[in-house]
Amino acid sequence: MRISFTKMHGLGNDFVVIDGREGGVPAMTAPAAAALANRTTGIGCDQLILLEPSEAADFRMRIFNQDGGEVEACGNASRAVALLHGAPASVETDGGVIALEPVLGGARVDMGQPRFGWEDIPLAYAMDTLNMPVGWGVLENSAAVNVGNPHVVFFVENVDAVALDQLGPEIEHDPLFPQRINVNVASVEGRDAIRLRVWERGVGLTRACGTGACATAVAAMRRGLVDREVAVTLPGGSLMIAWSEDDRIVMTGPATTSFTGTFEWNDYAGDAAS
């Protein structure tokens, strides 16, 4: 069985998008997703995105990280899906229903309301999530935010001086985070500007992370470091993040279609079974 896909990216965070809304796509498994995402033997991507029918929204978006693990939300992928869909839509994700619409040069996504309770992140035990009394090496005094998926945010003088390739996996797998965690290191450069690097759960260092930009902006806003609308610049480019008075996070930024193609499902289902 040959399956069609669209290769897309948002600020260099890249996706293989499979549109199964009309059926005809076999059930996705973690091994098959990891095989497709493999950059040497598969199509290659940070996340595999599967679109399906939904009873709760216009359609459903499922997100599989590079390691095959299914996760709740992906901001950059949401913008890519908005571009692919071509019209405003409500989308069911495991992190909740979001609203997206294409705009000139990209898309705008209403990511919903952030959550701050320690049990919402979740953490292994109760603590203040705005000023967490824990640290890993040079990284301390973090904030935790769930924006559909879990993030921990560290504010530092210079994001490039942090060995995130070493500290990222240590923090991601710390027992404090029973569902693992996305790790963000950020420098505030003004009331309207943040620089950010992200270690993404199940992926590693990434050129861009939309939910990381949302979580970091909201954490900075809660601490009074920035205004309610801020540009977040990652290695792949910039996103505009606004936190509205009605508690909604709105992300605006670019998305791009790279190419389209097909693959033979049994090639990857075979890898999954091995």
The tally of CA atoms less than 13 A away on the side-chain side of residue 190 is 7
Taking each helix axis from N to C end, the angle separating 30-37 and 265-273, rounded to the nearest 10 degrees, works out to: 120
Of 121, 209, 220, 234, which residue is the catalytic one? 209
For the chain, how many helices (H) and strands (E)?
A: 5, 18
Provide the 3-class DSSP secondary structure of residue 74: coil
Taken in order 95, 96, 102, 107, is the CA torsion positive or negative?
negative
In the structure encoding, which two tokens stand for residue 263, read together? 């693959």
Of 33, 37, 74, 109, which residue is the catalytic one? 74
170 membership: H or E segment, kind and range: helix 164-172
Taken in order 164, 195, 93, 44, is the CA torsion positive or negative?
negative
Provide the 3-class DSSP secondary structure of residue 34: helix
In the structure encoding, which two tokens stand for residue 196, read together? 């950010």
Contact yes or no for 188/221 (Cβ under 8 A)? no
CB atoms within 10 A of CB 262: 10
* C-alpha to C-alpha distances, 47 to 87, 138, 233, nearest whole angstrom: 22, 30, 21
Does 45 participate in catalysis according to the annotation?
Answer: no
Does 209 participate in catalysis according to the annotation?
Answer: yes
Provide the 3-class DSSP secondary structure of residue 228: coil
266 φ, ψ (degrees, to nearest 5):
-65, -25
Give bridge partners of residue 159 from the DSSP assignment: none
- Residue 128's identity, in one-letter code, is D
Which are the catalytic amino acids? 74, 209
